[in-house]
Amino acid sequence: MGYGAASTKVFVGQLATEEDLKRDWVMTHEMVHLAFPSVAEQHHWIEEGLATYVEPIARVEAGDLEPQSIWHDLVEGLPKGLPQAGDNGLDYTHTWGRTYWGGALFCTLADTRYISARTITAACRTRCGRSSPAAVISKSVGRLNAR
């Protein structure tokens, strides 16, 4: 956006209440983007998939969302990320479903089966110089809520 570093600009309606902001997922999703490096357009699915996957986890950790909602949202959303006929893989199929939910499906599998959470956390520490994105974001969301 051009402020000399990664940034996010979010417009909030004048009539938005504190409760509206507490229920909203957009700022948390955008903050996940700040914790992950930008990648080439072809790999955009990992940016959106990670943000889609981590956002509800961070909100649960911040106390803004019930834990069961994570599973509810994954059960509803992940099928939208499955490959359809003619799919050429996440790098070459730039539909909304494959980008957001296909990427989230990748992250879910990586987090739960193929890559240990310790590996992801170590990678994040190397990249970000701090703890996991979910921990960083939930701490930040907590700070915003305290205002």
Q: Point out which residues bind Zn ion (CB under 5 A).
A: 48, 51
State which residue, 22 or 33, has the beta carbon closest to Zn ion. Answer: 33
State which residue, 53 or 138, has the beta carbon closest to Zn ion. Answer: 53
Q: State in angstroms the smallest separation of the CB of 50 from Zn ion.
A: 9
Q: State in angstroms the smallest separation of the CB of 45 from Zn ion.
A: 11
Distance CA 10, CA 48 (A): 17
Q: State in angstroms the smallest separation of the CB of 33 from Zn ion.
A: 6
State which residue, 51 or 124, has the beta carbon closest to Zn ion. Answer: 51
Distance CA 100, CA 49 (A): 5
Residue in the shown chain whose Cβ atom is closest to Zn ion: 51
Render 53-111 in DSSP notation, one character per residue. Answer: HHHHHHHHHTTSS-HHHHHHHHHHHGGGGS--TT---TTT---HIIIIIIHHHHHHHII
